[in-house]
Amino acid sequence: MEQAPPDPERQLQPAPLEPLGCPDAGLGAAVGKEAAGAGEEDSGVDTMTHNNFWLKKIEISVSEAEKRTGRNAMNMQETYTAYLIETRSVEHTDGQSVLTDSLWRRYSEFELLRNYLLVYYPHIVVPPLPEKRAEFVWHKLSADNMDPDFVERRRIGLENFLLRIASHPILCRDKIFYLFLTQEGNWKETVNETGFQLKADSRLKALNATFRVKNPDKRFTDLKHYSDELQSVISHLLRVRARVADRLYGVYKVHGNYGRVFSEWSAIEKEMGDGLQSAGHHMDVYASSIDDILEDEEHYADQLKEYLFYAEALRAVCRKHELMQYDLEMAAQDLASKKQQCEELATGTVRTFSLKGMTTKLFGQETPEQREARIKVLEEQINEGEQQLKSKNLEGREFVKNAWADIERFKEQKNRDLKEALISYAVMQISMCKKGIQVWTNAKECFSKM
């Protein structure tokens, strides 16, 4: 996805809108000063463990999950899971602490935080949340969203979500994110007071822009196609992995039959009995080891799922660009129409069919005074339209510039994370195979001693 050369005449070109949030507002005094500097020094790409003031000063964790019962907005009783967020300050050289706090949040509150970030930072590839309900599960894995193993994996995913935000050079300094970590009561009200729901683009408007935009930026079109393909590839990979897990589980458990048969056989043998009994024990250990192996595999699957959901975050940036491009084209079209009307009034000629032209033919020409008044109104509208078009152009260029910078940051993060996850998964498979070889080596030694 290489950048195409800019074409300022026909389409939006450089970067994202300036963040609409309040980057440093509400942070503690010690944090605020560091945050301001972080935005300037870390304008490049960050990782979750390097070059970020939040992660240098504060440790963020989702330490536990708790099943609760309460009443929802419809006053109906419901069961849900709450997650304990702990923030612990890292010691400073001056001995002062930045922040220590802990509070409980529901999954829906994490969703509210992310929806807010999507609206106020449309140029950023906002980190995704872990799945609300289990997908791509193999048959022995529960799809129940209250299952303890699933809740534990989601707890890890929610912690990763917060660390992604805390490691982002812009998102980490948002006031609402800071309050999410520190203000348990009235946090929802604070978010809603920002009015972010009113600023959110409707799905219908986004869909309309997708089909009607005339001069799309090729880079964003290619990125949209890439995100679709990335989602498809990872989906297939997860399905294959689930099928393999099913087969592997069966193969391992069948080895338990070896253990049972060797144990029964040992009961009727004298010289061979001990060797057969020991070999059967090794087979039983081998059969039972698959449960821990597949549990470890789920964590690697969750890492892939994160980028499955990142694909939608990429498309959200592309959709926002399409909306801005569409608004720009509509503004240009409206300005051109008004200029044509003004020219026709000034010259007295009508170039295209219009209702006004038919009315003139039926009821006669306007008086010079009426024509001058209409021309004056149109000229004012043209001046206003030119200013709006200029503003939209600048806004659009800024959006593309900032968006592409964040996309490049995301690409580096994605390449690094997926490489690490795939290598770790391969190492785990190699280790699993070595353990299988060791089991059969032990069984061979047992047979040799008979």
Residues 6+ apart with CB under 8 A from 352: 340
Residue 68 within a domain: no
Place of tokens 């996850």: 421
Instruction: Answer whether 124's CB lies under 8 Å from 170's CB.
Output: yes
Coil, strand or helix: which one is 18? coil
* pTM of this structure: 0.77
- What is the tens place of the pLDDT at every residue in 9-57? 344 433 333 333 333 333 333 333 343 333 333 333 333 334 455 556 7
pLDDT digits (tens, 9 = 90+) for 293-348: 888 888 888 999 999 999 999 999 998 988 888 888 888 888 888 888 888 777 76
Query: Domain total for the chain?
Result: 1
CA 93 – CA 86 distance, rounded (Å): 22
Q: In this structure, is residue 430 part of a structural domain?
A: yes
338 belongs to a structural domain: yes
pLDDT at 220: 92
Q: Does residue 298 belong to any structural domain of this protein? A: yes
The pLDDT of residue 94: 56
CB atoms closer than 10 angstroms to residue 287:
20
Give the CATH number, domain containing residue 215.
Answer: 1.20.1270.60
Average pLDDT, the chain: 79
Q: How far apart are CA 178 and CA 24, in angstroms?
A: 9
279 within a domain of the structure (yes/no): yes
- Render each residue's pLDDT in the chain as its tens digit; 450 residues: 444 444 433 444 333 333 333 333 333 333 333 433 333 333 333 333 344 555 567 889 998 988 888 776 666 778 889 999 998 877 655 555 555 688 999 999 999 999 999 999 999 999 999 988 776 665 565 556 677 888 888 999 999 999 999 999 999 989 999 999 988 888 999 999 888 888 876 666 666 666 677 888 889 999 999 999 999 999 999 999 988 988 898 889 888 899 899 999 999 988 898 999 999 999 999 999 888 888 888 888 899 999 999 999 999 999 898 888 888 888 888 888 888 888 877 776 665 555 555 555 544 566 777 778 888 888 888 888 889 889 889 998 999 999 999 999 999 999 999 999 999 999 999 999 999 999 999 999 999 888
- Supply the pLDDT for residue 53: 53
Residue 431 lies in a domain: yes
**Integer Cα distance of 161 and 306 in angstroms:** 9
Residue 424 is assigned to a structural domain of this protein: yes
Range of the domain at 213: 200-348+370-449
Is 164 contained in some domain? no
Spatial CB neighbours of 85, under 8 Å, sequence gap ≥ 6: 60, 61, 62, 63, 102, 103, 104, 105, 162, 181
